[in-house]
Amino acid sequence: MVTIDLAVTPVREANETMRAAAARGEDIEIANPDARHHIGVGLIAPVRVKVKGSAGYFCAGLSHGADFEVDSNVGWGVGDSMYAGSVVVGGNAGAIAGVALRGGEVVVKGNIGSRAGQVMKSGTLLCCGNASFLAGYMMYGGRLIILGDSGERVGEDMSGGEVFVGGKVANLGADAKFADITDQDLDEINAFLQKYDIVFTGNFKKIVSAGTKLHYGATEPITRPQPHTVFSAEGVYWNPKVTEDIAVKSQIGRYRIRGYGAAKAVPHFTDIALKLDPNRIGAGDPLKSVNLAMVLGNRFGAKPLNLSMPVLIAPMSYGALSKSTKIALGRASRLSGIVENTGEGGMLPEERAEAAQLIFQCLSGRLGWNIHDMLRADALEIYISQGAKPGLGGQLMAKKVTKELAAIRGIPAGIDLRSPSRHPDILGADDLVIKVEELREATGYTKPISIKMGAGRVRDDIKIAYKDGFDFVQLDGLQGSTGAASTEVLENVGIPTLAAIQEALDGLNDIGHKGDMPIVLMGGIKDGVDAVKALALGASAVAMGTAALIAGGCISCMQCHVGNCVTGIATQDPEHEARYKLDRQALAIHRFLEAVRWQIAALTAALGHSDFRQLSRDDLVALTPEAAAITGLPYDPDYRGVAGEFHTKVA
């Protein structure tokens, strides 16, 4: 038995001591916890931990196999994303008890706060007292048992799992319904209560998902696909896409969903020119004379990512994309010496094996989020929003939730899957700082932690990202793409990529930290020319998503959201996926990335630099008054070259 006194030992050191003790198989006692946060976070060994007092936020979070006993209360998120094991709390629990529970058992002898069991996937959460409102909010699976009364809106938007209430149910949440309780239910509940020596003699009410909210009254008619390249090139008034939208809406009476990003023209990198001499492009071997290598993510001493050039693969999920496509992206990233990103929905083992460096994303639904893959990742990323649809969650229809996909995401197969629009435990900058700390504690401060955000109030948000201790920011402008979103949001919510980077730089400047936190810019970055302009404006690196998909065979046919992608990219249908030639497409993506590398190197050399970090705003001019107004660059339309690609001053 190891005793750790938190009155004298900082939590970070205590967690390290706990991990070492657990590795030796020694049980642990925590003295004077005094409600400190992150006790036992990331503990993955079958040991007993006794907390002699109250614990703070995320007690036993991201643990696997340990048995915790807390004498008194716990704060928010007890047992967060726990894989297996148990937590027994003698007193009350704060909000989101058992959040994202992936397995194991959480028993709270007293009351539990609001949103208990939010996005839980498996395991059991038992509350012996009363539950506050929104119990079982958006749960995917598992079992929530409340012996006392439950507050309002029980089971709000749950898509799977079961809630049992022994006392009064204030009222049901949206899309929840009462169901008949079976003898098997009761036998299992009684066995569970007996295991923890809890006596209960009342009757239970059972609440499950009604499953009505996810279904549309009318399905979209089949129309001839119009490639994004066609309708985004047309005029803004009565082009074929606009008329098709009107025709379809007149039949279905609601909004439409599509993939890709904004199609309307907004000021972008094409409205900026490089002040270079075209005769200097390609002279010598720019790949030898220009340094493109960089490290990312060492702001707080974590092991950083090593990039051979300032380019990343943008986050895209297994789910939106087929497994083959994810593997191809992983392989291409390795061949080009850059970094891949899991996107939402967990880490594919094959993707992990292919990608030499992989960022693991944590989203609001915590789908596939778990301690083991966190430890396997090279960096962790908290997704707040994306450029294509800032502020929105998502949904995946049951037919796309295959067995394999469900297993990785940790949810029951075949359910209509809702992804929440918000994180359960990030409702403000103040909560976020505690979340970041949890991820650092769980991984022993070894992984860089980034934040992905869509471009909304960037000037404010970037300050929060800086203050909340992120290693870097992935900033996604309006033109960022997605697998499915409504046109209203795709075209109209958020600010353009160009404005986003400028606001981010201004925001950091406001607080005196310009250049102190890297910004990876994405959202319509098409090639190395865009990349050079972004870097010169002040981005530290860029990320490419759509460009990489197109390089790997995407024909922009706009069927991403339907799941019937003919190229086998945006689909989970085995017949469609069989068309995807993984080996060939991985090499195609790699070749494209190498072309990007040459462009960045050649343009950097032509501008007279030997390192991409020497690129600066002095290398740029704005070709339109709008771009000048957004970026503050000098307006000089004389640089508009006839070729449109590499610009030079005509006069």
Binding residues among 12-41 for other proteins as defined by CB under 8 A: 31-32, 34-37
CA gap 169, 473 in Å, rounded: 43
The secondary structure of 410-437 as a DSSP string is TS-TTPPEEEPSS-TT-SSHHHHHHHHH
Residue 59 contacts other proteins per CB under 8 A:
no
Q: Answer yes or no whether residue 129 interacts with other proteins by CB under 8 A.
A: no
Segment 501-560, which members bind other proteins (CB under 8 A)? Answer: 510-511
Q: Report the nearest approach of other proteins to the CB of residue 453 (Å).
A: 14
Q: How far is the CB of 506 from other proteins (least distance, A)?
A: 13
Closer CB to other proteins, 95 or 274, in the complex: 95
Nearer to other proteins, 376 or 457 (CB): 457
Helix axes 11-23, 429-442, angle to 10 degrees: 30
**What is the DSSP-derived secondary structure letter of residue 93?**
B
Distance of closest approach, residue 13 Cβ to other proteins, in angstroms = 17
Window contacting other proteins (CB under 8 A); options: 67-75, 116-124, 572-580, 640-648: 67-75
Q: Which stretch binds other proteins (CB under 8 A): 48-56, 242-250, 305-313, 622-630?
A: 48-56
> Among residues 135, 464, 475, 525, which is the contact residue for other proteins, using CB under 8 A?
464
The 388-417 contact track toward other proteins, x by CB under 8 A, reads: ------------------------------
Q: Which stretch binds other proteins (CB under 8 A): 112-120, 214-222, 333-341, 583-591?
A: 112-120
Sheet holding 472-476, edge to edge: 311-313, 541-544, 519-522, 472-476, 449-454, 379-383, 358-362, 340-341
Q: With contacts defined by CB under 8 A, how many residues of the chain interact with other proteins?
A: 42
Using the rule CB under 8 A, is 191 a contact of other proteins?
Answer: no
Query: In the bound complex, what is the minimum distance in angstroms from residue 69's beta carbon to other proteins?
Result: 13
Q: Which is nearer to other proteins, 35 or 214 (CB)?
A: 35
Task: Count CB neighbours of 84 within 10 A.
Answer: 16
Q: Toward other proteins, which CB reaches closer, 28 or 313?
A: 28
| Least separation in angstroms between CB 218 and other proteins | 33
Give me the 612-631 binding string for other proteins, x by CB under 8 A, dash otherwise. Answer: --------------------
64 binds other proteins (CB under 8 A): no
* Interaction residues for other proteins, span 145-174 (CB under 8 A): 151
Tell me: does residue 122 bind other proteins (CB under 8 A): no
Exactly one of 58, 68, 83, 133 binds other proteins (CB under 8 A); that residue is 133
Out of 72, 291, 486, 648, which residue is the one contacting other proteins (CB under 8 A)? Answer: 72
Tokens of 29: 């006692």
Token reading at 158: 């749950």
Q: Which of residues 422-451 bind other proteins (CB under 8 A)?
A: 427-430, 433-434, 437
**From the CB of residue 90, how many other CB atoms can be counted at a distance below 10 Å?**
17
Write the burial class of residue 92 (CB in 10 Å: 0-12 exposed, 13-18 middle, 19+ buried).
Answer: buried
Residues ≥6 apart with Cβ < 8 Å to 445: 12, 300, 301, 302
One of 115, 205, 241, 268 touching other proteins (CB under 8 A): 115
Nearest to 115 by CA among 128, 103, 127, 102: 127
The answer to whether residue 114 forms part of the interface with other proteins (CB under 8 A) is yes
SS3 content of the chain, % helix, strand, coil (to 5): 30, 20, 55
Give the DSSP letter of residue 614. Answer: G
Q: DSSP states of 286-340 as a string?
A: HHHHSB--EEE--TTS---EEESSSEEEPP--BTTB-HHHHHHHHHHHHHTT-BE
Which residues have C-beta within 8 Å of that of residue 299, sequence separation ≥ 6? 448, 470, 471, 472, 516, 517, 518
Distance from C-alpha of 413 to C-alpha of 577, rounded to nearest angstrom: 19
What six digits make up the tokens of 325? 């496509």
User: Does 98 participate in binding other proteins (rule CB under 8 A)?
Assistant: no
The span from the CA of 452 to the CA of 473, in Å, is 6
Query: By the criterion CB under 8 A, which residues form the site for other proteins?
Result: 7, 31-32, 34-37, 52-54, 56-57, 71-73, 75-76, 91-92, 94-95, 111, 113-115, 132-133, 151, 427-430, 433-434, 437, 460, 463-464, 467-468, 510-511
